[in-house]
């Protein structure tokens, strides 16, 4: 915006508004990015393609974007080796969090590296957002999800520029919100999420409705619009699992949250002693006990910690009781301390989970912090927030001024007179020591008797002469500070309480001694100091001082980095797109410092042009400036001086202009160009017009002379001919007239005589015949009328009896068939129940056998192990004895060798050795046998394990089958119930028809009797005649009401016959029909004609099958109406009511409406009585439907299927010719290639022509999909249509491939493969929502084409082809393709002869199978869905706010269709 001709507030607003209306939400102000929240998804701005475009692009080269700021920061960090920071600011709801997410996403794209468990650092940071939002966000006046803390995300990079770690720093959690909230705000989300947890969680923590807790019921807002706390609770638990918080830690966290709610319900009353307090009632004792159980501490100690204080003096330790107010303050302090420690623990846990890199030298920090706040009531939190924004504004001003200074210094121009506004005086007012507001607040908090009144008086005395501090006239405790964004009035009532941050020693000792390690970890023991006075002084700490220290650390971090600024703007307060409020945006720009940056820019030289750009644009203002001069700088100076501009400066490479000078130069340039254009146009038009006039004048004179001569000649000739002709005609006409007259006179006399005689004879003959015929007709008609009358009476009686009997027999036959079907379903149900019981018994038996087998195996293994150990010990003992015996024998032999000369060795030792040797061999044999036995046992053990695994698998299969049977049993029960209810309705209908038959037969007999006694006298005063007159009198209002109802129905039918369109994606006609039928109670009557008229209207509308738009419109309406009926109608309404032939007026539809007509005066809205206090939402409760309503539902189902089939067949007809062209295209392509082989351009053009057929199919699909989308056809039906269309394409192409050898070629395969790629690309663009599994329907043609285009076919085996390449194709189809294949491009061969012979053998084996002998595919034209599938796939429809058309809206009888306004 610094390049605007007029750089001021209206120009800035106009620029932002114009860009916002075209979804250009990003705008530069120098290097500052302004982001306006669009309040809608713009995915095209943030996809991978956009990231690739902005990668490495310098600032200003492409359109403004948040990616540019991130890229500039990253490039600066890589090139300069210096850390950078991005400051994202704005008020609540301006989109700061989303902007932060986009920044981290782009930084991860530039320096992304896999994190732990396959997640990047950016993903880990984003996954921690739900946890931080649950515990740190709350509903405020301006935003439903406002962050009540500041956040600074440090993304660390290694020396290669890759992300190596991250950390989250938080600032100033709003602790006071735990105990105090104002209407209509809410407390932190976690409290409401826990109250909406599953029942077992609520019971475990002894929670209830949020209205029952003091910390939550201070506001009347408990639920957020369109947000389910129960779903958010589960999402938060999942986010905790992802972050790395264990289940044990999660349980401890929610125990702590629940304990805070219970702490808030502890109330105190005055005790018996002075200034003492006790628990108020049993409810408070219950909450105290529950708190102690949740925190795992002593209840008595907790009570003492809340009600008493320990004072340590040099002489003794004194226990002091607290009054109820002091105990309440102690209670709230404990709750705030616990919640603050819990939030700090969560932040530390998240940082540990993400991981930091200690070796990182550079980082990019993203600061997501609250903007300037000014409400009706501003407390300590707003004071700290605005203090932060003052600091950031000072940093922002210094940075902007620094950039201006660098630019002017680089160009070597004079900039010393530019004024720089600093807000240091406001910062000194707040943070200066010892006289700042924060210091005075800490001083007041250290004195026990200080109040907010004394604190305010201290401020008034200290800053009475300060220009930024204002004392209100009508308040003794409020004060006003003039911030950079405007004056803010602060209420100091809660300043002292909210500033105190010390932990009470009794609370510290109590929670440190908790048996829960998590709670005790939140309160580690404080190291005791020898000096008690220093210990006492160290107890006090304040929020203000701690926040000032954190802010100082943040500013040091920002000052050590290169800052980049993003200012988020909220265009409106209703949070809706396409609304731009100028006053609101201007206030935000002022608060964000954008206007200050523009003012700094305007104070200097906002317009800067290079010499080349300036000369290229403005040389025409002074053409003589470049004559004989090549110095661009001097030429620019001449032009500016000639124009009379002052205050500009000439730099080394640029021209610097003051605000408004650029617009003045553009105006003069446009004026000069306009004057020159007018002169050129005037001269050119004069020359052209004169040239045309002279040529036209010369041609006109020549044409006029020729035409006049020719006309005079023709006139003379015509006059001569006319005179001669008149003379000839006169003589000839006279002669001819005389001859004709004489001849005609004689002929007329003869004809008159003959005709008059013949006419007289004919008239006499006709009168005679007429008289005889009249006599015969009279006798014959009398006889015929009498006979016909008697015969008609007899035949009508016989026909009526036979027809009624036939109808009764037909109904009886239907009822018997339905009874049989119901019985069969019940038998199937019983069989399935028996199978389920048998399978359950088998599963239990298998489990029992498995358990016994495992126990027996364990015992046997234990015995074998013991026996092995015993045998091993025996073997060891035997080896030891053997060694000892050998040593003894050796010694004996050595001793005896010197004594024995010729005498033999004594026999005893030798026998011992032999015995020992024999025993050794026996032991070895037994050892070998034991080893073999152990091997056998181990082998049996492995076999037993394998058999156990097999049995466990079988057991799982049985359990799975058992579940499936149970599900099928449940579905069968539902079907049986529906059939039984419909059966009851049909039985009731049959009874009605039977009774009506009897009544009609009685009437027919009475008619016969009356006919026979026609000549008898009638008694006009009989009782029957009197009763008939009374009935006629009663039925007159009924008839008038029927006529009125008929008028309403006619108006409805006339209205729905028109195209009513859609309202927010909902068809108006369907919703209007449903509401009328529901209002008139048409579903509950046994006779009505409205259903047939609606069906007839729909049938007439879809008679023209070629109009897909009309068919799609009615498909959307009929499916929506069917869904509404599916949710509403319930069969079985007339099962137990005895039918009557003659209904009373109150029992029928019109009788029920009579009550409402008679109960309301004329002109009153008739629908008001039937509409309850719905409050604007329409009730879709179920009603007991009669037979006409059920029949209407079945007719709608039939029309849905019919319209669906018509739409599908129309699309098939449209693409069939194109499919034929696609199949024939390869021959055309080969002919064109043979004619012009050397012309590559011609070949490329031919390929484009060939692919055009496929593009025609895609175009048809696109147009068809647009029609369905525009008419809001349910996506479920759209998916079914395209699935069958792709199946049709698959069948047509595949069958043509098998039937035509010229299509089974290599080039045709390449061509069809390219066409299939076009279809696949269309499926990707249309998304799965509308295509579903349509692409999978092309599996036959895809695999067949894949076979045609593969190389080295002779090397392929039958197994590779049938299992890997073409698993869907049968052997007959593979054999057909392989034998018909020919390579017209490379001349290669098909499959090897061995593979072909193997295929032939397999085909011979399958020759007896009738199914496998067919190699062609069949097209499936059935309806691939049911009503239940359609109703499950469609969402619930809200029809309350549907606006009726003007024709209906003007009629008072349809006022129930108008939306209800609360």
Active-site residue list: 92-93, 97, 143, 146-147, 371, 373
Q: Please, which residues bridge with residue 1305 across strands?
A: 1382
Half-sphere exposure in the Cβ direction for 1268 (13 Å, CA): 25
Q: Is the separation of the CB atoms in 1311 and 1250 below 8 Å? A: yes
| Distance separating alpha carbons of residues 1224 and 1216, to the nearest angstrom | 13
The pair of structure tokens assigned to 1126 is 């599916």
- Positive or negative CA dihedral for 656, 662, 664, 666? positive
| Distance separating alpha carbons of residues 822 and 814, to the nearest angstrom | 12
Q: Please, which residues bridge with residue 569 across strands?
A: 36
The residue with tokens 């990015």 is: 33
Helices and strands, counts by H and E, the chain: 43, 23
What is the full DSSP assignment across 770-820? HHHHHHHHHHHHHHHHHHHHHHHHHHHHHHHHHHHHHHHHHHHHHHHHHHH
What residues contact 1170, with CB distance under 8 A and at least 6 apart?
1079, 1156, 1456
How many other C-beta atoms can be found within 10 angstroms of the C-beta atom of residue 844? Answer: 10
The residue with tokens 């593969």 is: 1350
What residues contact 738, with CB distance under 8 A and at least 6 apart?
none
What residues contact 242, with CB distance under 8 A and at least 6 apart?
127
The pair of structure tokens assigned to 1320 is 């696949």
| Distance separating alpha carbons of residues 324 and 336, to the nearest angstrom | 18
| Distance separating alpha carbons of residues 305 and 334, to the nearest angstrom | 10
Category of 1081 on φ-ψ map: left (φ > 0), alpha (ψ -120 to 50) or beta: left
1112 burial via Cβ count (<10 Å: 0-12, 13-18, 19+)? buried
Strands 84-89 and 150-157: unpaired
The pair of structure tokens assigned to 238 is 């999942």
| Distance separating alpha carbons of residues 1158 and 1038, to the nearest angstrom | 11
Q: Is the separation of the CB atoms in 307 and 280 below 8 Å? A: no
How many other C-beta atoms can be found within 10 angstroms of the C-beta atom of residue 841? Answer: 10
What residues contact 349, with CB distance under 8 A and at least 6 apart?
243, 244, 245, 249
The alpha helices in 604-650, defined as continuous H runs, are 611-618, 632-643
| Distance separating alpha carbons of residues 1180 and 1172, to the nearest angstrom | 13
From the list 1332, 1348, 1329, the residue with the least C-alpha distance to 1340 is 1348
From the list 1325, 1301, 1303, the residue with the least C-alpha distance to 1312 is 1303
Q: Is the separation of the CB atoms in 500 and 450 below 8 Å? A: no
What residues contact 507, with CB distance under 8 A and at least 6 apart?
305, 330, 333, 334, 337, 523
């Amino acid at each position: 915006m610094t390049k605007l001709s007029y750089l001021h507030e209206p120009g800035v607003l106009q620029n932002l508004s114009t860009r916002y209306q075209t979804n250009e939400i990003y705008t530069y102000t120098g290097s500052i990015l302004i982001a306006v929240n669009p309040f809608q998804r713009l995915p095209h701005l943030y996809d991978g393609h956009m990231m690739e475009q902005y990668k490495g692009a310098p600032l200003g080269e492409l359109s403004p974007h948040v990616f540019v700021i991130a890229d500039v920061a990253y490039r600066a960090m890589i090139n300069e080796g210096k850390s950078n920071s991005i400051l994202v600011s704005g008020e609540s709801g301006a989109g700061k969090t989303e902007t932060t997410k986009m920044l981290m996403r782009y930084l991860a794209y530039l320096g992304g590296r896999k994190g732990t468990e396959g997640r990047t650092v950016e993903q880990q940071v984003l996954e921690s957002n739900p946890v931080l939002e649950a515990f740190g966000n709350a509903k405020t006046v301006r935003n439903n999800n406002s962050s009540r803390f500041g956040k600074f995300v440090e993304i660390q990079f290694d020396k290669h520029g890759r992300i190596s770690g991250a950390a989250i720093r938080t600032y100033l959690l709003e602790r006071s919100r735990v105990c105090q909230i104002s209407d209509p705000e809410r407390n932190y989300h976690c409290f409401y999420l826990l109250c909406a947890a599953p029942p077992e969680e609520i019971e475990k923590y002894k929670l209830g409705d949020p209205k029952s807790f003091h910390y939550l019921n201070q506001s009347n807002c408990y639920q957020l619009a369109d947000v389910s706390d129960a779903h958010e609770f589960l999402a938060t638990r999942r986010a905790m699992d992802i972050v790395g918080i264990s289940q044990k830690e999660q349980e401890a966290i929610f125990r702590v949250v629940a304990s805070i709610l219970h702490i808030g319900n502890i109330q105190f009353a005055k005790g018996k002693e002075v200034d003492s307090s006790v628990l108020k009632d049993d409810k408070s004792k219950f909450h105290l006990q529950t708190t102690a159980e949740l925190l795992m501490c002593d209840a008595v100690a907790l009570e003492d910690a809340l009600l008493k204080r320990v004072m340590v003096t040099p002489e003794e330790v004194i226990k002091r009781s607290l009054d109820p107010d002091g105990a309440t303050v102690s209670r709230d302090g404990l709750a705030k301390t616990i919640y603050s420690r819990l939030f700090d623990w969560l932040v530390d846990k998240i940082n540990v989970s993400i991981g930091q890199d200690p070796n990182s030298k550079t980082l990019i920090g993203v600061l997501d912090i609250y903007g300037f706040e000014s409400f009706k009531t501003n407390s300590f939190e707003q004071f700290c927030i605005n203090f932060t924004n003052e600091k950031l504004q000072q940093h922002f001003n210094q940075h902007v001024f620094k950039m201006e200074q660098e630019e002017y210094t680089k160009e070597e121009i004079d900039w010393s007179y530019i004024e720089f506004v600093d807000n240091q005086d406001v910062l000194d007012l707040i943070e200066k020591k010892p006289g700042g507001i924060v210091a005075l607040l800490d001083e007041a908090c250290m004195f026990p008797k200080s109040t907010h009144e004394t604190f305010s008086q201290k401020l008034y005395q200290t800053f009475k002469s300060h220009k930024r501090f204002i004392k209100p006239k009508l308040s003794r405790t409020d004060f006003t500070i003039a911030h950079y964004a405007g004056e803010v009035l602060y209420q100091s009532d809660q300043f002292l309480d909210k500033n105190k941050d010390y932990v009470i020693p009794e609370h510290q000792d109590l929670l440190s001694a908790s048996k829960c390690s998590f709670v005790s970890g939140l309160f580690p023991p404080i190291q005791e100091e020898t000096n008690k006075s220093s210990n006492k002084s160290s107890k006090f700490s304040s929020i203000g001082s701690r926040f000032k220290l954190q802010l100082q650390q943040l500013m040091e971090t920002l000052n050590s980095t290169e800052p980049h600024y993003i200012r988020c703007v909220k265009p409106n307060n209703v949070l809706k797109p396409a609304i731009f409020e100028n006053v609101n945006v201007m206030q935000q720009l002022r608060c964000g410092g954008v206007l200050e940056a523009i003012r700094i820019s305007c104070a200097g030289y906002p317009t800067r042009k290079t010499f080349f750009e300036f000369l290229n644009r403005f040389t025409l203002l002074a053409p003589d400036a470049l004559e004989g001069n090549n110095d661009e700088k001097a030429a620019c100076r001449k032009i500016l001086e000639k124009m009379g501009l002052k205050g500009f400066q000439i730099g080394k490479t640029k021209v610097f202009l003051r605000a408004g000078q650029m617009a003045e130069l553009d105006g003069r340039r446009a004026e000069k160009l306009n004057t020159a254009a007018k002169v050129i146009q005037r001269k050119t038009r004069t020359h052209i017009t004169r040239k045309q006039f002279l040529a036209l004048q010369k041609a006109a004179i020549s044409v006029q002379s020729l035409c006049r001569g020719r006309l005079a000649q023709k006139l003379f000739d015509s006059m001569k001919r006319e005179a001669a002709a008149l003379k000839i005609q006169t003589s000839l006409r006279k002669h001819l007239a005389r001859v004709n007259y004489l001849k005609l006179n004689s002929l007329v006399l003869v004809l008159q005589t003959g005709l008059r005689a013949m006419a007289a004879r004919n008239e006499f003959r006709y009168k005679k015949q007429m008289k005889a015929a009249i006599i015969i007709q009279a006798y014959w008609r009398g006889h015929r009328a009498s006979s016909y009358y008697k015969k008609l009476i007899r035949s009508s009686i016989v026909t009526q009896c036979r027809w009624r009997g036939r109808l009764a027999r037909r109904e009886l036959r239907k009822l018997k068939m339905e009874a049989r079907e119901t019985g069969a379903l019940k038998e199937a149900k019983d069989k399935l129940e028996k199978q389920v019981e048998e399978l359950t018994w088998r599963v239990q038996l298998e489990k029992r056998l498995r358990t016994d087998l495992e126990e027996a195996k364990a015992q046997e293994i234990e015995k074998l192990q013991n026996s092995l150990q015993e045998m091993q010990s025996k073997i060891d003992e035997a080896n030891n004895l053997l060694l000892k015996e050998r040593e003894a024998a050796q010694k004996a032999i050595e001793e005896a060798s010197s004594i024995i000369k010729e005498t033999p060795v004594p026999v005893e030792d030798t026998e011992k050795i032999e015995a020992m040797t024999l025993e050794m061999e026996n032991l070895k044999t037994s050892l070998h046998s034991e080893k073999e036995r152990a091997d056998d046992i181990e082998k049996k053990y492995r076999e037993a394990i394998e058999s156990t695994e097999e049995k466990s698998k079988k057991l799982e299969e049985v359990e799975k089958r058992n579940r499936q049977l149970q599900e099928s049993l449940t579905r069968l029960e539902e079907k049986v119930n529906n059939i039984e209810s419909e059966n009851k309705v049909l039985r009731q209908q049959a009874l009605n028809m039977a009774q009506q038959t009897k009544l009609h037969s009685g009437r027919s007999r009475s008619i016969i009797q009356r006919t026979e006694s026609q000549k008898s006298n009638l008694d006009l005063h009989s009782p029957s005649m009197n009763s008939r007159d009374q009935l006629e009198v009663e039925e007159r209002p009924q008839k008038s009401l029927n006529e009125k109802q008929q008028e309403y129905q006619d108006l409805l039918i006339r209205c729905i016959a028109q195209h009513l369109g859609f309202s927010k994606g909902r068809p108006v006609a369907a919703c209007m029909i449903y509401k009328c039928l529901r209002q008139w109670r048409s579903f509950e009557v046994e006779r009505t004609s409205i259903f047939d008229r609606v069906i007839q209207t729909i049938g007439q509308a879809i008679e023209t099958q070629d109009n897909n738009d009309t068919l799609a419109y009615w498909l959307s309406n009929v499916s929506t109406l069917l869904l509404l009926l599916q949710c509403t109608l319930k069969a079985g309404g007339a099962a137990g009511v005895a039918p009557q032939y003659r209904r009373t007026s109150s029992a029928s539809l019109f009788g029920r409406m009579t009550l409402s007509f008679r109960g309301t005066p004329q002109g009153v809205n008739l629908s008001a009585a039937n509409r309850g206090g719905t409050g604007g939402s329409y009730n879709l409760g179920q009603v007991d439907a009669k037979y006409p309503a059920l029949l209407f539902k079945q007719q709608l189902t039939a029309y849905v299927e019919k319209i669906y089939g018509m739409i599908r067949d129309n699309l098939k007809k449209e693409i069939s010719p194109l499919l034929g062209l696609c199949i024939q295209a390869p021959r055309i392509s080969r002919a064109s290639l043979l004619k012009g082989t050397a012309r590559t351009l011609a070949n490329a053009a031919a390929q484009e022509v060939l692919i055009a057929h496929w593009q025609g199919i895609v175009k048809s699909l696109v147009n068809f999909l647009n029609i369905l989308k525009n008419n809001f056809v349910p996506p479920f039906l759209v998916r079914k249509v395209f699935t069958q269309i792709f199946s049709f394409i698959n069948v047509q192409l595949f069958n043509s491939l098998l039937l035509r050898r010229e299509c089974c070629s290599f080039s045709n395969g390449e061509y069809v493969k390219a066409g299939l790629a076009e279809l696949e690309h269309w499926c990707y663009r249309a998304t799965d929502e509308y295509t579903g599994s349509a692409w999978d329907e092309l599996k036959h043609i895809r695999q067949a084409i894949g076979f045609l285009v593969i190389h080295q076919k002779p090397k392929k085996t039958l197994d590779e082809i049938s299992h890997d390449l073409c698993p869907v194709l049968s052997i007959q189809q593979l054999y057909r393709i392989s034998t018909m294949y020919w390579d017209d491009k490379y001349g290669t061969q098909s499959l090897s002869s061995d593979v072909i012979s193997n295929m032939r053998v397999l085909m011979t084996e399958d020759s007896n199978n009738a199914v496998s002998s067919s190699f062609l595919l069949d097209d499936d034209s059935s309806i691939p869905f049911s009503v239940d599938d359609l109703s499950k796939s469609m969402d619930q429809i809200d029809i309350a706010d549907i606006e009726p058309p003007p024709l209906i809206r003007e009629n008072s009888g349809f006022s129930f269709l108008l939306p209800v306004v609360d």
